[in-house]
Structures are given as structure tokens and as C-alpha cells.
């Protein structure tokens, strides 16, 4: 299809910019109890919903390319969908198809990995998020690969388990570890293979940093997985129980690292001639550890002697940069994003957020593309995130983001501006209720500062979210009742993303667009792209999902 936008004959857009605000992790709650968006003091958001055209959009499951509507959305695929204007099959679905069909095992990368360990009588290692949350990984993919490895004659395999508690219940690690240990025992029962968990730790403690926010996490992961250095335990179960006892109230995502030993020695150091698979399919928290394995001249931390291994990712995490060099499943090839269309049309754009979501509003929004479409027409602004626990500073960088956003709006340079406020997602993941209230109120304060500026500049504000989180902070039973924690007497915290819809609100104070909401129901966040293009005075591109608005 030709990459050309068609202008509307009867509407040329507002005098000021169209500003897309993505309130990360701010959904529309199903339950009153545990909806910390609803219970926070948010007069600006309440006013917008009551006085402006607004609706709700799907942001999970098949609406964002996941295998089923039981699968939650996430920031990566949410920004893919918003930026692409239509739905692509995403990592979980692509990998599930490759595993179920067996095509993964017919691919050249898998064959190289297996041949390498068989030729050298070495070890096959798996590093990744150890749950079935289906956001970064799925433990079922790991089990399938281990089963296949045994069939193909791999004698030794070691698993380096990054504990979740974020995309699954916050203290569910043993619900995965114990059945998995039984699974390994079955594989090992005939004595032909030796497959074992070798190390682990919480996903927010080691290995899975993103956007270079905290390389110390990656360094600690390298020390744990590769070098086998750290506290030694006879099993993952003992390690988790001991670390929980030493750190009362700790969530799985924050558990310190551990190393499994046999006869006083680490059971699974990564050594020359081994093969290593990072089995996360999502890229943002996989890139830094990939750099550590692949870069010859690496300077981010002192990694010591780098073992000569064959390394592969489940998918390619950055197609532009070719990271990693080897991968098992092809990522979705996303084209014709709204950013690409606007660059082709000569429209100036601004994208900004703080570090934790900067890659989402740039790389993921642009269809997994690291480079700009046009250097002369696009500006990206990254506000460095604080390197502290989010519950200790729940307002995050909302004030600084707003400062930069207001400057961009008032400059008159840009036709389209997109911004991500991370508070609802990053603080929502902590499970600390008081902090989530503050996070939401900080977000509302930011919105209150934007409205008069957008009005003054005669722009249009589109407010939405990529998925829910802070709207569903309590664990609920099937009957809707709140599950209570017997030790604290408080509701059990839910730290995962929700399955709730997200808001979509149009603030057009000068009524430039005369926009009204369409009557079409069941739309998802992929409709935001066409909406923004229509508000800018362009027709919906062929193949895009329908716009939310009709303009006059």
C-alpha cells in the first residue's frame, strides 16, 4: 500500500497540536474495591470524563494481538497497537504457534544451539522469567524446549529462573517452582539426562533491567547466572523459603539472587562452548543482558572473562540493531505506523517520557523501530528516571514530563505530540496501596496543568492508556469478593496488569474538530491512531482500525 495520507476535504485540523497522553496502567475498574484510580482524588480526570466525549477501549487479549482474551495486555504490545493503528499477532501468540507447530525446532537457530552442546558435550542453559504470565515469557515454552532437548540427545540443561510476582500473583513463586521440579524429576528419571535449576532471583532485583535504568541489576544477574557467585542453597525451594524468612513481606519480584549448589559447588555456571537461550519473547527487559553476552568490548560493568557461548533470544529484541544475532522466532513486522505516515507527510512530531517508558513511546510506538523515520521532523525527549523504589517516589517524573510537554506545546513547532506517564503502571506493580494513590493524584495534577495550555494553543488532547493496572489492586475471588491476607489483615495485593478496558477521552476546547464519537462498539486501543489522524485532518489509512470520532 502507498505510504500517503489523504487530507480531508472539509477539515484541516486544529490550530495547535494534537497531543496524545498515554496514562500507563490506568484502566477502568470492574470492582470498586481495589480500584485506586477511582478512589484517588482525581478531579481533573473526573471532569474530563463528565464533560468531554469519552468511551472505553479494549486493551488486552485479542484486541492487542494476544492468543486469547484471558491474556492481559502490556505496555509493549499496547504501544505497538496504538502506534500501528491495527492489531498484529504478538510475541506470546507467535511463540506459542512456533512451539505448538514444532516450527521452532525446525529452525536453524535451534539446530545450531543443540548441535553446539552435543559436539562439545557441554550444557544448554535457559534464562528467563519463570511464570505463565504471558507478558515477557511463558513457562510452558520452557518445558516444551526442555522436552525437545532431551529427545534430541542434550545431556545437561540448566535453568536460571527469574521470579515474577508482577504478571502473576506477587508471592506465587513456589506455585511454579514445585511443579517444575517435579517436571524435571520426570525428565531425569531414566538417568540419561541431568536437567536442573541453577540460579534465580527476583525480576526487579537482577538481570531484567530495561532502558539502561540500572545496569547494577544486570551485573548482579551476570554474577549469579554466569559466574555462579552468591548465596548457595541446595534447591530453589529452600532458597525462596529462606530468603522470604530473611526479608519479611518481600514480593517475588524483589527476592535477592540465589545459586543452587551440589557438593558445595554451583551446579550451573555458564562456561565455554555452552549454549544459552534467553527465553523471554518481550524485548525491553532482554536487551541489556543480551549486550553482556554478545558485545566484545563491553563497558557497562566488569563482567570478567566472557565465556565463549552460543547465545540466542526467543525473539529478536531490536530488529534495527540486530539484537540478538541469533533468535528462535521471528517478531512481528510492523509497518505503516502513524509516526511513519506523519513523517512522510512532513509533519513535525514530539515523543517524550521518562526513562522507564521512553522506549515504549518511541521504539514500540514506531513498530519496534529504534531509528527515527525523519531526523529533521522528529524530536525525542527522555527525562531520566529516579533510581529508587517506585513506592518511595510514586510521583516519579510526572512534573518534569509535564514541564517538557508544556514547553513542546507552547513552542508551536509540533503537529503531533505523544507522551507517556508511567505512574499507574510502575507504581501499580509495587502493590503498595498508599503509593498508588499518590501516583494517581500526581498524574491528575499533571493533567490539570495541561488543559489550560492546550486550550491556549487551540490544540486537541486525546487521553487514553495502554492497559490497566492501578484500577485493579486487590486479589478478587470468582464471586468478586476481596481475598484477605491472614497475616496483615489487609486485602491481598494484585501487582499484575488488569483485564479491564481503558479510557479514551477527547478534549477539544476550541471545538476545532466538531468531533463526535462513533456509534461503533467493541473497539480497541488500535483505534487511537486513526482517531489522531482524523483530528489532524487526515483520512483513515487503508487497513487501519476504525477511528473513534467523526469530524465535521
Cell numbers placing 396: 516519579
Residue that terminates a domain, selected from 329, 356, 384: 329
Q: Is 121 left (phi over 0), alpha (psi -120 to 50) or beta?
A: left
Same domain, 277 and 321: yes
Same domain, 377 and 499: yes
Residue that terminates a domain, selected from 282, 306, 329: 329
Same domain, 303 and 348: no
H helices of 163-294, where?
173-188, 215-225, 236-246, 287-294
Provide φ and ψ at 128, rounded to 5°.
170, 175
> For 42-51, what is the mean pLDDT?
97
> For 525-533, what is the mean pLDDT?
98
Let me know if residue 11 belongs to a domain: no
H helices of 247-332, where?
287-294
DSSP 209: -
Same domain, 390 and 533: yes
Q: Does the pLDDT value for residue 459 go beyond 90?
A: yes
Residue that terminates a domain, selected from 290, 309, 329: 329
Domain harbouring 460, CATH code: 3.40.720.10
Sorting pLDDT into bands at 50, 70 and 90, what band is 72?
confident
Cell numbers placing 200: 534465580
**What pLDDT is recorded for position 35?**
96
Same domain, 76 and 103: no
Domain harbouring 316, CATH code: 3.40.1450.10
How far apart, in Å, are the Cα atoms of 78 and each of 94, 282, 426, 447?
Answer: 16, 12, 15, 21
Quote the longest CA-to-CA distance of the chain.
78
Same domain, 217 and 231: yes
Let me know if residue 6 belongs to a domain: no
- The β-bridge partners of 23 are 421
| Total domains present in the chain | 2
Angle at 331 between CA 328 and CA 334, to 5 degrees: 165
Mean pLDDT for the chain? Answer: 95
Same domain, 216 and 204: yes
Q: What is the distance between the alpha carbons of residues 313 and 331, in angstroms, rounded to a whole number?
A: 11
Let me know if residue 10 belongs to a domain: no
User: Which residues lie below 8 Å from residue 162, measured CB to CB, with a gap of 6+?
Assistant: 127, 128, 129, 130, 200, 201, 202, 203, 206, 207, 208, 221
Is residue 487 classed as helix, strand or coil in its secondary structure? coil
Q: What is the distance between the alpha carbons of residues 457 and 406, in angstroms, rounded to a whole number?
A: 10
Sorting pLDDT into bands at 50, 70 and 90, what band is 66?
confident
Angle at 233 between CA 221 and CA 124, to 5 degrees: 55
Same domain, 265 and 414: no
Picking from 174-183, 347-356, 513-522, which range would have the lowest pLDDT averaged per residue?
513-522
Q: What is the distance between the alpha carbons of residues 311 and 324, in angstroms, rounded to a whole number?
A: 8
Same domain, 262 and 280: yes
Q: What is the distance between the alpha carbons of residues 111 and 156, in angstroms, rounded to a whole number?
A: 16
Q: Does the pLDDT value for residue 104 go beyond 60?
A: yes
* Domain, as residue range, for 398: 18-89+334-550
Pairing of the two strands 232-233 and 194-202? unpaired
Let me know if residue 312 belongs to a domain: yes
Which residue's entry shows cell 558485545? 295
Other CB atoms within 10 A of residue 305 CB: 8
Cell numbers placing 285: 527487559
Q: Give residue-wise pLDDT tens across range 353-404.
A: 999 999 999 999 999 888 999 999 999 999 999 999 999 999 999 999 999 9
Percent of the chain, pLDDT > 90?
87
Let me know if residue 483 belongs to a domain: yes
3-state helix, strand, coil in the chain (%, to 5): 35, 20, 45
Q: Tell which wins on pLDDT, 535 or 321.
A: 535
DSSP 474: B
Q: Does the pLDDT value for residue 284 go beyond 90?
A: no
Same domain, 283 and 391: no
Residues 285 and 209: beta-carbon distance below 8 Å = yes
Query: Is the torsion defined by CA of 450, 455, 458, 462 positive or negative?
Result: positive
Is residue 267 classed as helix, strand or coil in its secondary structure? coil
Give 546: exposed, middle or buried? Use CB within 10 Å, 0-12, 13-18, 19+.
middle
Q: What is the distance between the alpha carbons of residues 215 and 288, in angstroms, rounded to a whole number?
A: 8
DSSP 13: -
Q: Give residue-wise pLDDT tens across range 146-183.
A: 999 999 999 999 999 999 999 999 999 999 999 999 99
Report the candidate in 247, 268, 254 with the shortest Cα–Cα distance to residue 156.
Answer: 268
DSSP string, 94-118: HHHHHHHHSHHHHSHHHHHHHHHHH
Report the candidate in 408, 418, 419 with the shortest Cα–Cα distance to residue 353.
Answer: 419
Q: Give residue-wise pLDDT tens across range 195-207.
A: 999 999 999 999 9
Q: Does the pLDDT value for residue 455 go beyond 90?
A: yes
Q: Does the pLDDT value for residue 89 go beyond 60?
A: yes
Same domain, 182 and 152: yes
Cell numbers placing 182: 517435579
Q: Give catalytic residues, as residue numbers.
A: 75
**What pLDDT is recorded for position 398?**
98
Same domain, 249 and 298: yes
Let me know if residue 184 belongs to a domain: yes
Indicate yes or no: pTM above 0.85. no
Residues 529 and 540: beta-carbon distance below 8 Å = no
Amino acid at each position: 500500500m502507498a505510504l500517503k495520507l489523504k487530507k480531508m476535504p472539509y477539515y484541516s485540523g486544529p490550530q495547535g497540536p494534537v497531543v496524545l497522553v498515554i496514562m500507563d496502567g490506568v484502566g477502568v475498574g470492574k470492582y470498586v474495591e481495589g480500584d485506586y484510580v477511582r478512589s484517588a482524588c482525581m478531579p481533573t480526570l473526573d471532569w474530563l470524563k463528565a464533560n468531554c466525549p469519552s468511551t472505553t477501549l479494549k486493551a488486552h487479549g485479542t484486541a492487542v494481538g494476544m492468543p486469547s482474551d484471558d491474556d492481559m495486555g502490556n505496555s509493549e504490545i499496547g504501544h505497538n497497537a496504538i502506534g500501528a493503528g491495527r492489531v498484529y499477532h504478538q510475541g506470546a501468540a507467535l511463540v506459542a504457534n512456533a512451539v505448538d507447530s514444532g516450527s521452532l525446532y525446525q529452525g536453524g537457530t535451534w539446530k545450531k544451539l543443540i548441535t553446539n552442546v552435543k559436539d562439545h558435550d557441554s550444557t544448554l542453559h535457559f534464562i528467563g522469567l519463570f511464570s505463565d504470565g504471558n507478558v515477557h515469557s511463558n513457562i510452558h515454552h520452557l518445558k516444551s524446549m526442555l522436552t525437545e532437548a532431551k529427545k534430541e540427545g542434550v545431556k545437561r540443561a540448566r535453568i536460571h529462573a527469574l521470579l515474577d510476582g508482577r504478571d502473576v500473583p506477587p508471592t506465587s513463586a513456589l506455585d511454579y517452582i514445585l511443579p517444575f521440579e517435579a517436571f524435571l524429576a520426570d525428565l531425569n528419571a531414566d538417568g540419561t539426562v541431568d536437567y536442573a535449576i541453577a540460579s534465580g532471583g527476583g525480576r526487579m532485583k537482577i538481570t531484567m533491567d530495561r532502558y539502561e535504568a540500572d545496569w547494577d541489576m544486570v551485573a548482579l544477574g551476570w554474577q549469579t547466572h554466569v559466574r555462579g557467585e552468591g548465596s548457595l542453597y541446595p534447591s530453589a525451594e529452600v532458597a525462596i523459603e529462606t530468603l522470604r524468612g530473611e526479608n519479611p513481606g518481600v514480593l517475588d519480584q524483589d527476592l535477592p539472587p540465589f545459586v543452587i549448589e551440589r557438593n558445595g559447588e554451583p551446579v550451573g555456571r555458564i562456561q565455554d562452548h555452552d549454549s544459552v537461550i534467553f527465553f523471554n519473547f518481550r524485548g525491553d527487559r532482554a536487551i541489556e543482558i543480551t549486550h553482556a553476552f554478545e558485545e566484545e568490548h563491553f563497558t557497562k560493568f566488569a563482567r570478567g572473562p566472557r565465556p565463549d557461548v552460543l547465545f540466542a533470544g526467543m525473539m529478536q529484541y531490536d530488529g534495527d540493531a540486530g539484537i540478538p544475532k541469533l533468535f528462535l522466532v521471528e517478531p512481528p513486522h510492523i509497518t505503516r505506523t502513524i509516526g511513519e505516515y506523519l513523517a512522510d507527510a512532513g509533519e513535525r512530531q514530539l515523543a517524550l517520557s521518562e526513562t522507564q517508558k521512553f522506549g515504549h513511546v518511541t521504539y514500540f510506538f514506531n513498530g519496534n523501530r529504534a531509528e527515527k523515520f525523519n531526523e529533521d521532523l522528529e524530536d525525542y525527549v527522555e527525562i531520566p528516571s529516579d533510581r529508587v523504589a517506585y513506592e518511595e517516589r510514586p510521583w516519579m517524573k510526572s512534573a518534569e514530563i509535564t514541564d517538557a510537554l508544556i514547553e513542546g506545546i507552547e513552542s508551536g513547532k509540533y503537529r503531533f505530540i505523544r507522551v507517556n506517564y508511567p505512574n499507574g503502571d510502575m507504581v501499580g506493580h509495587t502493590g503498595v496501596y498508599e503509593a498508588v494513590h499518590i501516583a494517581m493524584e500526581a498524574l491528575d495534577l499533571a493533567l490539570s496543568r495541561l488543559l489550560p495550555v492546550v486550550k491556549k494553543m487551540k490544540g486537541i488532547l486525546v487521553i487514553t492508556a495502554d492497559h490497566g493496572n492501578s484500577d485493579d489492586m486487590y486479589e478478587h475471588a470468582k464471586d468478586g469478593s476481596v481475598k484477605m491476607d491472614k497475616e496483615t489483615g489487609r486485602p491481598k495485593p494484585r501487582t499484575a496488569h488488569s483485564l479491564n478496558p481503558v479510557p479514551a477521552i477527547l478534549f477539544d476546547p476550541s471545538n476545532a474538530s466538531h468531533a463526535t464519537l462513533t456509534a461503533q462498539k467493541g473497539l480497541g486501543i488500535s483505534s487511537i491512531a486513526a482517531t489522531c489522524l482524523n483530528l489532524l485532518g487526515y483520512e483513515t489509512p487503508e487497513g487501519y482500525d476504525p477511528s473513534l470520532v467523526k469530524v465535521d
